[in-house]
Chains A and B, each alone.
Chain A
Amino acid sequence: MASMTDLVSEGLKYPFNDTKKLLSLGALFALLNIITFGIFEMLIDLLTIVEETSPNSIAANSSTFASSDIYIIALFAIIGFIIALLIMGYQYDVIKFSIAKKNDLPGFGDVLSLLTKGLKYFIACFVYNIIPVIVFVAGIELLSVQNGDYYVSVLALILFIICNFLLIMALANMADTDKLTKAFDLREIINKIANLGWVTYIGITLFTFIVYAIIMVAISVILMFITILVAIAINQAMVILAIIATIQGLFISSYISVFFNRVYGSVYREAIK
């Protein structure tokens, strides 16, 4: 490998190897987006009913949902979680394929194994992010009690960055060995990063993130144009939002997630060389 950045361009090209599978993943993302969107909408409706702060407001008058809708929301949330697990399981497979240096995209054949892999992926992400989140919440609480103290929030940010730096390697380490405990074997993870070199590791991570940020900004500009076009055709904010959420899930989220996980896998592959 001449240069680490080749990994990034390889990762950017990789999703195009099998557009059908990419679109299947995109369909899952789109479904997830729409469900999230629906839950959000329902919650807003529910809140207007429960609170009834202003009975004469348009929102309160026009909402048709009863407060028993909480069950529907719960159902939706469960379905959404299952879809999210499927997506995470797929990402797990992408990392695995990347470490094995396979050029095709993983399939959706075994749903059950996808779910268990997704659960592993979720647990690893959850555990790594729980400490920064706790510190962050504590920081906000502190801020509301005695205002003017930002240090805890800054600490939370730093913790968040460090944890996610490690998380990338942890996920790949877990996918390589197929053991959940390997995701928390900090000594091994740090050894592998040291093997690659910290500067290289941080550099490649930052570079990936910069490429990601540029792509996202460019895509949001394009999406903005699409939104304007759709808004001219259809005059309803909800429908427009739903369409945009679908487009985003179908094409963009799927591409970006496969890209990221491919690069993580490649970095790991370089590290264990």
Chain B
Amino acid sequence: MILDIYKDSLEYSAKDWKTLVILGVICLFSFLLLPIFLITGYNYRVINTAVHGIINGRDPLPDFDDIIAMFVDGVKVVIVQMLYMLVPFFIFILFAAISNSLNGVLASAIMIIGCLITFALIIVACLMSQMGICHMAYNEGTFSKAFEIKEIREVIDDIGWFNCIITYLGLIIITIVISAVVSGIILAIFTVFGISGSVLGVDSSGIFLLGTLINSLVTMFIVGPYLSIFNSRSIGLLYTMQI
């Protein structure tokens, strides 16, 4: 089941290279702040397509029409994620405050326990916020549905917590592996170039610079957008896995 999700998502994200380049251009202008929300809004659309579709179905990639609605969706997604992340943050602050007022071994013990609890909460909050976004998308973008903890928990119970966490781990691993492999290939090519250049007596620092530039360009325009669509699609499909 999980492997099916990955297979479908990997194929889905590679459907249209134009979309990847458009996302890359948006990413390039993200210092203007508004484009960041466009990217999250686009990812929300991918999730939206996924939760309403079926696995291995022929869903098309979402279009870039209606920029303003995309922006508002992006703002919604960011707000949901931030509100979920507030919970572990406050718990951490609470533990820090308690341990600050104590001293000795007890203080450090409480701090360690606090860190562990915060870490666990961060994982839960990540899962819940992603599922919340999926749940929101499933209910036609109703904002309050992202915080219906009870319904979301039922959804996760149906999928199975173990499956969810395994899928997440897999996503993280695939993301890291793909970006590392692509960077590694480019690095290898330019190392070969550099070595052959220096054998021929050319200054190889220029080649090194070019390699770094091409690496960052490929990461920004191809790999980054690809992985973000891949992640959104996988999470959206995971949501549809309820029995």
Contacts and interface: CB of A to CB of B under 8 A. Distances in A.
Contacts of A9: 68-69, 71-73
A12 B72 contact: yes
Contacts of B141: 2-3, 5-6
B89 to A, nearest CB: 18
B71 A12 contact: yes
Interface string B52-78: 000000000000000011011101100
Nearest to B74: A214
A218 B34 contact: yes
B33 A211 contact: no
B95 interface: no
Interface residues of B, number: 18
Contacts of B144: 199-200, 203
Contact of A221 (B33, B37, B142): B33
A6 B73 CA distance: 9
B33 A3 contact: no
Contacts, number: 50
Chain A's interface: helix, strand, loop or mixed, by majority?
helix
Interface string B105-149: 000000000000000000000000000000000001111100000
Interface residues of A, number: 21
A3 B79 contact: no
Interface in A192-212: 199-200, 203, 207, 210-211
A218 B38 CA distance: 13
B243 interface: no
B32 interface: yes
Contact of A4 (B69, B71, B143): B143
B79 A2 contact: no
B51 to A, nearest CB: 14
Nearest to A199: B144
Contact of B75 (A6, A199, A210, A222): A210
A215 B69 contact: no
Chain B's interface: helix, strand, loop or mixed, by majority?
helix
Contacts of A13: 68-69
B31 to A, nearest CB: 8
A218 B32 contact: yes
Interface in A54-106: none
Contacts of B68: 9, 12-13
A218 B143 contact: no
B34 A207 contact: no
B3 to A, nearest CB: 34
Given A5-B141, A12-B71, A12-B72, A210 B79 contact: yes
Contacts of A203: 143-144
A217 interface: yes
Contacts of B142: 2-4
B34 to A, nearest CB: 4
A8 interface: yes
Interface in A1-60: 2-6, 8-9, 12-13
A215 B79 contact: no
Interface string B197-227: 0000000000000000000000000000000
Nearest to A12: B68
B62 to A, nearest CB: 16
A39 B141 CA distance: 47
A210 B82 CA distance: 13
Interface in B128-180: 140-144
A214 B143 contact: no
A205 to B, nearest CB: 13
Interface of B: 31-34, 37, 68-69, 71-73, 75-76, 79, 140-144
20 contacts: A2-B140, A3-B141, A3-B143, A4-B143, A5-B76, A9-B72, A9-B73, A12-B68, A13-B68, A13-B69, A199-B144, A207-B76, A210-B79, A211-B75, A214-B34, A214-B37, A214-B75, A218-B33, A218-B34, A221-B31
Given A12-B71, A221-B32, 17 more contacts: A2-B141, A2-B142, A5-B72, A5-B141, A5-B143, A9-B72, A9-B73, A203-B143, A203-B144, A207-B76, A207-B143, A211-B72, A211-B75, A214-B34, A214-B37, A215-B34, A217-B33
Which 10 A/B pairs are nearest by Cβ-Cβ distance? A2-B140, A9-B72, A218-B33, A3-B141, A218-B34, A9-B69, A12-B68, A3-B142, A13-B68, A9-B68
